[in-house]
Structures are given as structure tokens and as C-alpha cells.
Amino acid sequence: MSEQHGTIVIGAGPAGLTAAYELLRHGLPVRVFEADEVVGGISRTVERDGWRFDIGGHRFFTKVPRVEAFWHEILPDEDFLTRPRMSRIFYRGALFNYPLSAANALRNLGVPEAARCLGSYARARLRPPRDQSHFEGWVSARFGWRLYSIFFKTYTEKVWGMPADRLQADWAAQRIKNLSLAKAIRNAVLPRRYRTDVTSLIEEFQYPKYGPGMMWERCAEQVRHRGGEVSTGTWVTAVHRDPQRRRAISVTVNGVGGQRTEPADHVISSMPISELVTALRPAPPPEVLACAADLRYRDFLTVALVVPAEFSFPDNWIYVHDPGVRVGRIQNFGSWSPYLVKDGRTCLGLEYFVFEDDEMWRTPDADLVALATAELERLGLARPGVVEAGHVVRMPKAYPVYDERYQHNVDVIRAWLAEEVPNVHPVGRNGMHRYNNQDHSMLTAMLAAENIATGSAHDVWAVNVEQDYHEQSTGGGGRRGTGRDAPVVPSRIVAAPIATHEGVGAPTDGDRPAQVPLG
């Protein structure tokens, strides 16, 4: 098989740039086309007026040694900071530890409310909800209605944009697994040496001092230095295939130099798999196109507010469980790295989960800054009048939605691609419509590159199929998984055929918003 044309990589996020770097490691030619003007995808670092914003918060932590080695091959050790991991839950003006601790929760809830929560739990155990097929019924059956409403309901509904009783229970069952209120209390009260089946979250992580985009800007430089091409502002409009040979043979790109066709021996695609399908020429059969059109995405925007340093907090982020505001999570960029902010001030990133082209997505930036400022003041996290400036960052197609048909849709597309265009290799989060973390996206790219370079037969789709949360460490020698799924949601509720961090019910990412942060 000729390699004279080399490999075209679609997208310059973590998956695309990793694939390009790995191909060059094997001495193979590669061209990368990125539609945006900057590299990094959702792992970019946005800069506005000297402030740097991380889109969602990317903790550099992995259990995959080759990914860890890759990070440190791209950036020298002195460019990494070791940061403490800290997150809390904001509810009724109080901050609850995450994972929950009995003393902190009792103090914040108060004895009467804590007693009501225990009573609600007892009632749920005696008379559990009849319908536990949905998220709300399943969780309240195991924790009682009051704890469910405090620590599960509000945040879940903010993240997914629909009532919690319309979310399927499957993912909650996988995510919470053996956790029960009795076990949570026992593990919170007993000394660690007396606990059983202890699961704890990592206590610190690595972070590039100028944000995650620093990693991918440097990686793009290295790809170019090694002879590869990285073209930004250049989008792929068509992937041409030869049905007789069952191969992709070229792509059409459109950019600064106009439209042109580039030949290819292989195509590695990190563009949304739904868009890949519609870009194929000749077009796939109607049933494959229908599956692509049925895939949906959740979108994301951050309103970054500049405030005096006195309004900083030690957390990487705070989960907002207050139903009176729309913000779902608040990052403190100064807690990620002092290099992201300026002396005497910090920047707080208020995160909103939206659907592209809904009302909030279309709201002008100035109005979003005013909304976020009002919500920050309403929560008591800043005094009126202290916000000095604000910036808005929108991220479309940030998270693949797992509705009840997504797996069928992906399976149909995957099987057709494997049969008809096996030299097209989907990788990464959107490329595979799989809620991968950055390290998992990178691993899919590494394996795809190795398959091309060495003729290996790695199953890229087997990456991130385990059920354990990747930022947890399990005592007692239990299985240490790296994967997790997202909840199955009813597709009829998802607003539009368009186009999310740890815990239950939310898009989790270790670098994304968490949900149901119960330890």
C-alpha cells in the first residue's frame, strides 16, 4: 500500500495533534487541517486582554503511562505546576466539602435539616419510589428525596437542560454503583484504617503554567519542526472516497488560499463524526446519514469576570446547587495557575450549559456579563460593584449527548466506515461521539497512528470502556479503571439536532463539569 501522499488529520485538538506527532515519530508525512484560528480544541487556552481562560478546567492527571510521557516530552518539567485538587458544593449560602464529610455537612445543614434528611432516607428505604427507571427515582430511592434534591437534582438539570425525571437511570446506576448513605456516613466518620472499600479522589494534579493550550501550541510547533504541516483557519468540506477500492482518496479543504483538493493515503478524523459522515463523497446510504443527523451535542459558555484578589477562593471550582441562578459551576482561574491572572486580581469563570442557538447562546456578550455579575453578587461571592471587566467564551459541540439512540447511531456509522472506508480513522471525543477525557482522546490517536504506521490492529473503540472514574484511586487492590460514561437522556427532550466533570449526572471530564459530587 502506497504511503506517498501520507496522512491527513482533521482537527488540531489533543487527538489530532497527538496523532500527527506520533505519525512523525514513525517518519510518516502528515498534514493537519484545523477550521479554527487556534489549536487545542476544547483544551485551548483563550486569552483576552492579558487574562487566560481554561475552557472547563483541565486537570493533567492520567493512569496511561504513554500519555504521561507524551505530556513531558512536549513540555519540560519546569512548565508544569503541581496544583492541589479542591472543589466544593455551594448550597444555601454554604460551602460543602467534596467529597462530603459528616462534620462539615452537619454544620452546614444544621441538626434539624440533617435529621429531616435521615428521616427522608428511612422513608425511601421503607417505601422506595415505584418508578426507578429514571434518574430521579433511582437516586431518591437510595438517598431519600431531601438529599437527592440538595445534592443531585438542581445541578443535574442545569447540566442537561431537562427535568431529572426524564433522564434514564442507567448512568446513575453505573456512576454511583455501591455508594449508599449508610456507607457514606460510615466512611466519613470512621478513621481511614477502619473503612472498607475506600475510594478517594486524587489530591493533586499537574497543570501547564499558562493553561492547557500551552501544551497544544507547543505540540503544533513540534509537528511543524519535525516536517509536518498544521494549517489553521482551514476547514475540510469533503472527504472523497473510491467505492470500488473502498478507500478515502482525498479531501477538499477551504481556507486562506481558497479551495483545493489534497490526496491522502489515510484520514484521521477528530471532527464530529456526524459532520464526517455528511462530508463523505459520494454520500453514504440514507440510513447512515439518518444516524449521523440524529447525533446531538451539549454546548457550553463561560463568562469570565475580573475581580479583586480578596474575592478569590482556594477551590479549582465550586459547584452551584442553588436553583435560583443559572450558573452551574464557578472556576477560579487564579487557583489553577497564578500565570493565568494578574497581580492583585483574579478571574472567576462562571460556566453555563446550553444548547447552541438557544436564547442564552444568542444573548449579546454585554448582557451575559451583566447576568453573570448579578448572579455572582446574588450568591454572595462578590460585593456589588467590584467586577472590573468581563469576557465571554462560547464552545459549540463541547460534549456529545448520550440519548437513548446514540449508541445505535454510532454503531451503524462505525460499522459502515469500517466496511466502506477503513482508511478513515475516527479519534477523540467528537470524532467518536464518546465522552472521552483529554488523556483518552490522546490514547485513541496514538493507537490509530500506530495502526497506520506499523500495521497493528488496535481496537481504538476499546479505549475508555471501563466503568471506574479516572480521577479516583481505590484502596484494597480493587480495579483501577480509567473510563466513565454519560447518562442516557431521552432524545425527544434534547432541543435541537445540533450540537459537556466528575460526579453523577453531568458530563464528566476530570477536565469538565462534575455532577452529584458525593464522595
Query: Looking at residue 283, what DSSP letter applies?
Result: P
Residues 6 or more apart in contact with residue 502 via CB below 8 angstroms: 87, 201, 469, 471, 508, 509, 510, 514, 515, 517
- The per-residue pLDDT for range 226-278, each reduced to its tens digit, is 999 999 999 999 999 999 999 999 999 999 889 999 999 999 999 999 999 99
What would the grid cell of residue 489 be?
A: 437522556
User: Which residue's entry shows cell 471530564?
Assistant: 509
What would the grid cell of residue 68 be?
A: 504521561
Whether residue 511 has pLDDT greater than 50: no
Q: 141-164 burial, b if ≥16 CB within 10 A, otherwise e?
A: bbbbbbbbbbbbbbbbbbbbbeeb
Rounded CA gap, 377 and 516, in Å?
Answer: 24
342-346, 476-480, 510-514: least confidently modelled range: 476-480
Whether residue 222 has pLDDT greater than 70: yes
What's the chain's average pLDDT? 85
Burial of 278 (0-12, 13-18, 19+ CB in 10 A): middle
Whether residue 156 has pLDDT greater than 80: yes
Q: What pLDDT, on a 0 to 100 scale, did the predictor assign at position 106? A: 80
Rounded CA gap, 92 and 321, in Å?
Answer: 8
- The per-residue pLDDT for range 241-255, each reduced to its tens digit, is 999 999 999 999 999
Rounded CA gap, 317 and 335, in Å?
Answer: 9
- The per-residue pLDDT for range 191-212, each reduced to its tens digit, is 555 444 444 456 899 999 999 9
**Domains assigned to the chain:** 7-44+65-81+209-293+407-462 (3.50.50.60), 102-194 (1.10.3110), 297-400 (3.90.660.20)
- Are the C-beta atoms of 478 and 496 separated by less than 8 Å? no
75-84, 165-174, 302-311: least confidently modelled range: 165-174
Instruction: Give the pLDDT mean for 82-95.
Output: 92
- The per-residue pLDDT for range 23-70, each reduced to its tens digit, is 999 999 999 999 999 999 999 999 999 999 999 889 999 999 999 999
Q: In what order do the strands lie in the sheet with 30-33?
A: 229-231, 30-33, 7-10, 266-269, 424-426
65-79, 154-168, 314-328: least confidently modelled range: 154-168
> Peptide bond before 99: cis, by omega within 30 degrees of 0?
yes
Q: Is 60 helix (H, G, I), strand (E, B) or coil?
A: strand
Whether residue 513 has pLDDT greater than 60: no
Rounded CA gap, 91 and 320, in Å?
Answer: 7
Q: What pLDDT, on a 0 to 100 scale, did the predictor assign at position 478? A: 37
Whether residue 388 has pLDDT greater than 70: yes
pTM of the model: 0.86
Q: 32-51 burial, b if ≥16 CB within 10 A, otherwise e?
A: bbbbeebbbbbbbbbeeeeb
Q: What pLDDT, on a 0 to 100 scale, did the predictor assign at position 256? A: 83
Burial of 458 (0-12, 13-18, 19+ CB in 10 A): middle
Q: What pLDDT, on a 0 to 100 scale, did the predictor assign at position 501? A: 33
Q: At 434, phi and psi to the nearest 5?
A: -135, 135
